[in-house]
Amino acid sequence: MPRHHFLPDVVRVRPAGGRSPVRVDRRVAPEAWFELAYQDVSVIVQVNDGAEGDAGGGPDWPSSAASQPSVVARMLLDLDVHDRQRILEVGTGSGWNAALLAHRVGADRVVTVEIDAALAARARRRLAALGPAAPKVVTADGAAGGPTGEPYDRLLCTCAVERVPMSWLARTRPGGRIVTPWATSWTAAGSAILTTRQDGSATGRFTPGGAFMRMRAHRAGRIDDLDTVVRPEHVPDLGRTAVSPWEVTGDADFAIGVAVPGAWHLWEPQRPAESVHTRFWVADEAGTSWACVDYDGTQLAHFAVRQFGPRRLWDEVSAAHAWWASVGRPGLDRFALTVDTDSTQSVRHDSPTGASWPVPGTAPEVHRFPKCSTNRE
């Protein structure tokens, strides 16, 4: 299925090691555009939810992408599609994924749902151009589960969720499979693979994979602006920690994300000090609490910590990291997800301790670890 057929004339791609996406226009640089279409990279097809050139005073931000082909292939293998199965896709995007599914089981057995009307219309045109038979493209919020009727055998989501919509379980037959990218406030990485049960619940595991943009319904209402959270009048508590900020990112991301709900982080060079000085920020999406850990360019044995608010976020992060290290530094494939019929959802680890964390609904539920070793000044 030709990928370039589903890309708009203007796309963006993040260069290796670069931060700002590079704009590539087919009409200006056709060779570069076609080369990009068949590279194993994610290609941004929409920014700012379609408000091109209007980022609210800031830089353009990606809102839809044609996923990396190798990641698409892995997720389709995880979906485990068989002949004559009915498939619901949540997040049409460019339409390429829906075309691949239609090629496998037939266009009449694929329904794809897209919340963005412009993206849905463009995908509908491009799918129709492939021939008389095309998957049905529905403009709707996929968080609501899409069209009603006969249940689907498979449900594939192409955006990350922080909580599985219960409507998806209702749309999937017992014994069916749901594959969706997963995210926490801390990180977005990997996918959940769930099997639905006769009683309307579901259980499954996580598998490594690429990071996806969040579903629109799961990115609203969050406070992730540092200037909003950290105020001049705040007087933080001072302390020191032996836990390096580099230790709580990377391999530990998934565990910390589920154990410290609602917390996000970023790195910031210290200003106006030398560039070697760095500061690691942690804040909560409620906008009530924050912490920062400073590296002065020389001392790696301990770091200065400042914490403010009702949540002692660095204490929570340090304790989650200590637990993760104590059980062998597990990857996300050592965790499982359960969705019960009463909408209770939980992530659990397969260690003998049976550690388990609730998946937050509207408000984070903090998992309490034993007191961490941050030293107060």
The conformational region for residue 246 under phi > 0 = left, psi -120 to 50 = alpha, else beta, is alpha
d(CA 290, CA 285): 10
d(CA 312, CA 290): 8
* pLDDT at residue 375 greater than cutoff 50: no
Encode pLDDT of 151-176 as tens digits. 999 999 999 999 999 999 999 999 99
Tokens 């353009």: give the residue: 60
Same domain, 59 and 78: no
The model's pLDDT over 104-138, given as tens digits with 9 standing for 90+, comes to 999 999 999 999 999 999 999 999 988 778 999 99
91 neighbors 71 (Cβ within 8 angstroms): no
**pLDDT surpassing 70 at residue 377:** no
pLDDT at 273 over 60: no
Last residue of a domain, one of 171, 189, 218: 218
Average pLDDT over residues 296-309: 84
Q: Is 242 in a helix, a strand, or coil?
A: coil
Q: Mean pLDDT over residues 94-101, rounded?
A: 96
pLDDT range class, residue 220, cuts 50, 70, 90: low
The verdict on 86 and 35 lying in the same domain is no
Last-in-domain residue among 158, 188, 218:
218
Q: Are residues 283 and 322 in the same domain?
A: yes
Same domain, 311 and 260: yes
156 and 300 in a single domain? The answer is no
Please write the tens of the pLDDT for every residue from 227-256.
Answer: 889 999 999 999 999 999 999 988 999 999
Are 258 and 335 contained in the same domain? yes
User: Are 60 and 123 in a shared domain?
Assistant: no
Split into its structural domains, the chain has a count of: 3
Q: Are 51 and 118 within one domain?
A: no
pLDDT, residue 67, reads 92
192-196 mean pLDDT: 97
| Locus of tokens 């030293």 | 375
Does residue 374 share a domain with residue 229? yes
**According to the model, what pLDDT value does residue 268 have?**
84
What pLDDT does 223 receive? 77
- Boundary of a domain, candidates 176, 201, 218: 218
Residue 372 clears pLDDT 50, i.e. is over it: no
Percent of the residues in the chain that have a pLDDT greater than 70, as a whole number: 89
Q: Are residues 120 and 210 in the same domain?
A: yes
Global confidence as pTM: 0.90
pLDDT at 363 over 50: no
The SS3 assignment for 227 reads helix
Residue 251 structural domain = 221-377
Examine the domain organization and report whether 45 and 123 are in the same domain: no
Return the sign of the alpha-carbon dihedral for residues 219, 221, 227, 229. Answer: negative
pLDDT of the residue at 62:
85
* More confident: 297 or 65: 65
Query: What are the DSSP calls for 86-144, one per residue?
Result: -EEEE--TTSHHHHHHHHHH-GGGEEEEES-HHHHHHHHHHHHTT-S---EEEES-GGG
Q: Which residues are catalytic?
A: 67
Give the Cβ contact number of residue 359 at 10 Å. 22
Indicate whether 214 and 264 sit together in one domain.
Answer: no
- We report the CATH number of the domain holding residue 168 as 3.40.50.150
Q: Which residue has the higher pLDDT, 268 or 236?
A: 236
